[in-house]
Amino acid sequence: MKVIKLGGSIFKEKNSFLKVPPLLDQDNLVIVVSAPYRVTDLLLNNQINKKLLENIYQKLAGQMGFESEKLKERVYEILNEKDYEKIISHGERCNSLALKLFLEKEGFNVEEKLPEEIELNLTKNGEKIELKRSIKSYFKEKKIYIVPGFYAIHNGKIKTLGRGGSDYTATALANILDAENVTLYKDVSQLFTCDPKLVKNPFPITKISYEIAELLSYFGAKIIQYKAIAPAKSKNIPIIIKGLDKSGSTIIGNETNVGVLSISFLKDLLFINGKLKKIPKNVKYIDIFQNNANVIIEKEKFESIKDNFSTITIKENLSLILVGGDLDIGKKLLILNSLYFHKFNFWLLKDAKNFLILLVENKNLKNILNVIHNILFAREGVI
């Protein structure tokens, strides 16, 4: 069995489901679907009313190429819904049914499985998907199964899995079902050595280890959700990232990282120093000595942790940079000396075997990324 995940950017225009059948290379397959492009934003930012739901239904019918009363019923299920988590995950449930109806019409043997039906539950703290072997019993027959991504069940209720949560759904199911591999179809076909929007001529990465991919995604690389790595890693299941244009791919697996280097970053962070009353959760970085702590956190999360400190000082407008991969001491020293030479303010937060973590000012982020990238890749080709 294989698992594939279809990202929301694939479902942008009319008749977009026609892109799916060429991807189905076997009849024993699980497809995890995201919401259609921009539908989650519509559900987040608008009042739920008949006009909005009709717009969503028409978008889905356009993707299928035909009308369906069954799909219309599914779309309108949330008309009077008050549960926020159920509302924002509704795009996935509707897209799942729409794709099922389309593939049935195309002659495929297909069945929809909702997370609430297969008991795709979260752990007690609500942080991780339970990798229960009993779920395997729902996928016994040789057919194509479609599962909406982005949410699981916690204490009997829907709970969403965060940005990129469908990646996590896909790798969790791959683990449970002992899949041969899991392929994530996205609008970007590969991981690059840095964000092409900020760095000139980044190189594509064809293979990378689970460990470095997890670090890069945790520190800002948006190509895969960082929680999605662990379920595949624990069973050595390759994660393949590719686009529909077949221009390339990145395989995340049990690789050595020889010759592999990449840079990721997070912008608009706060650096907090103060005396702790209790250790805060959901921070990006923390360093504690006795009861004094240095913490780095996204700006929007500050209110949730400020009461953990008895005294506090804050520095704003900062970015974290992670340089990961085949880093030797020579490359590390060259990076640090170059940043010092260019008179950039920076703080070295972590120097580990396979990575560096730096804290820099937002205003210098783009220039620093390009300096580091030029040092690492000026004489390098495609990895």
Backbone CA torsion sign across 195, 196, 200, 204: positive
Q: What is the pLDDT of residues 80-135, one digit of tens each?
A: 999 999 999 999 999 999 999 999 999 999 999 999 999 999 999 999 999 999 99
Which amino acid, one-letter code, is at 83? Answer: D
383 residues of the chain, pLDDT tens digit each: 999 999 998 898 899 999 999 999 878 899 999 999 999 999 999 999 999 999 999 999 999 999 999 999 999 999 999 999 999 999 999 999 999 999 999 999 999 999 999 999 999 999 999 999 999 999 999 999 999 999 999 999 999 999 899 999 999 999 999 999 999 999 888 899 999 999 988 999 999 999 999 999 999 998 899 999 999 999 999 999 998 887 789 999 997 666 789 999 999 999 999 999 999 988 999 999 988 999 999 999 999 999 999 999 999 999 999 999 989 999 999 999 999 999 999 999 999 988 999 999 999 999 999 999 999 987 443 33
Q: What is the pLDDT of residues 233-255, one digit of tens each?
A: 999 999 999 988 877 899 999 97
What is the rounded distance in angstroms from the CA atom of residue 164 to the CA atom of residue 246? 21
The CA angle 137-27-255, to the nearest 5 degrees, is 80
Token output for 137: 């019993």
Residue 168 has what DSSP assignment? H
At 25 the three-state DSSP class reads: coil
Which amino acid, one-letter code, is at 204? Answer: P
CB 327 within 8 A of CB 261: yes
Residue of 316, 229, 225 whose CA lies nearest to 271: 316
Residue of 34, 35, 81, 75 whose CA lies nearest to 58: 75
Residue of 100, 85, 107, 91 whose CA lies nearest to 157: 85
Burial class (CB within 10 angstroms; exposed 0-12, middle 13-18, buried 19+) of 204: middle
What is the rounded distance in angstroms from the CA atom of residue 111 to the CA atom of residue 139? 10
Residue of 267, 271, 270, 164 whose CA lies nearest to 217: 164
Token output for 19: 């892109």
Number of CB atoms found within 10 A of residue 127's CB: 12
Token output for 232: 């595949």
What is the rounded distance in angstroms from the CA atom of residue 336 to the CA atom of residue 339? 5
Token output for 142: 């040789």
Q: What is the largest CA-CA distance in the chain?
A: 66
Report the mean per-residue pLDDT for the chain.
93
Structural domains for the chain? 2-187 (3.40.1160.10), 261-377 (3.30.2130.10)
> Sheet of 309-325: strands edge to edge?
285-289, 292-298, 261-276, 309-325, 355-361, 346-351
CB 358 within 8 A of CB 321: yes
Pairing assessment for the beta strands 144-148 and 110-112 based on DSSP bridges: parallel
Q: Containing H/E element for 375?
A: helix 365-377
What is the rounded distance in angstroms from the CA atom of residue 197 to the CA atom of residue 73? 41
CB 149 within 8 A of CB 32: yes
Pairing assessment for the beta strands 207-209 and 285-289 based on DSSP bridges: unpaired
**What is the pTM for the complete model shown?**
0.93
What is the rounded distance in angstroms from the CA atom of residue 9 to the CA atom of residue 3? 18
Mention every residue, 6+ apart, whose C-beta is less than 8 A from residue 213.
191, 221, 224, 229, 239, 252
Residue 211's pLDDT is what? 93
Mention every residue, 6+ apart, whose C-beta is less than 8 A from residue 92.
33, 34, 35, 148, 149, 150, 151, 166
Q: What is the pLDDT of residues 50-93, one digit of tens each?
A: 999 999 999 999 999 999 999 999 999 999 999 999 999 999 99
